[in-house]
Amino acid sequence: MIEKVTMQRTLRMTHQREVVLHELRRCQMHPTADELYDLIKKKLPRISLATVYRNLEILSEAGHIGKLEVSGRQKRFDWDPTDHSHVFCVRCHRVDNLDFPGLPCPRVEPGQNQGYEISGCRIEFFGLCPACREPTTQQASQGKPAMESAPSTPESTEDQQRQVLEALANSAAPSGSKELAAATGLESKQVSNQLTALKKKGFIASPVRCKYEITDQGISLLGG
């Protein structure tokens, strides 16, 4: 009698599910759920982020799309569910396909390794994407260009601090680390580190929690 209690039988193709699938296929990239959400909102302004997540999960479960779990960061989704490897950029975190000719997965010894019954493996390449390889044409990275984060060069502590300080000098109101990260193109963790250092030295101050503004001392530092 418990058999009567079942669920999740059919896959209904609702409008939003259709749009999720269509937009993913259309963009031909490997967007995160929220990137796709932003895209989809243009077509379906009332859709919920949860619906996007739900449908991506269901569609990947059903094998219609692929789900990428790259190195501990945000999941990305792939319109192409067939087996293939990916590269991701260590700087801007963009993901691209990588189809190599040879065998993708190294021979899995059928015998048990460590007692494990190995059923497969995932290979994940990393490196620098074309955009991030460039020798930095300019460092001012405005906004976020749709799907790809702002490439930034690995800079010295001093450079980073100068950037943060300049960004603060150009800002009217006290800024948080996220705004500063956006303004400088640095990672917010880096920005945060530099804020701490700058504050200790008295070049910036924090009028309210998490917000910073440049001090006279900081201004004179930039000026000198």
Partner DNA sequence: CTTGACATGCGAATGATTATCAATTAACTT
Partner DNA sequence: AAGTTAATTGATAATCATTCGCATGTCAAG
State the binding partner of 90 from DNA, a second copy, none, CB within 5 to 8 A by kind. Answer: a second copy
50 makes contact, choosing from a second copy, DNA, none, with CB < 5 to 8 Å by partner type, with DNA
Residues 58, 11 contacting (CB under 8 angstroms): yes
* String marking each residue 139-158 x if it binds a second copy according to CB under 8 A: ------------------xx
Nearest-angstrom CA–CA distance, 34 and 39: 9
For 42, 91, 179, the CA distances from 151, given in Å and listed in that order, are 26, 6, 16
- CB-CB contact of 200 with 151 (8 Å): no
Classify 83 as helix, strand or coil: coil
What's the min distance (Å) between Cβ of 171 and a second copy?
19
Task: Report what 137 binds from DNA, a second copy, none; CB cut-off 5-8 Å by kind.
Answer: none
The dihedral through the CA atoms of 108, 110, 115, 116 has a sign that is positive
Q: Which option in DNA, a second copy, none does residue 42 bind, with CB closer than 5 to 8 A by kind? A: none
Tell me how crowded residue 103 is: count the other CB atoms within 10 A of its CB.
7
Using CB under 8 A, list all residues that contact a second copy.
1-8, 69, 71-72, 75, 87, 89-90, 96-98, 100, 102-104, 106, 108-109, 112-130, 133, 157-158, 161-162, 193, 196-198, 201, 203, 221, 224
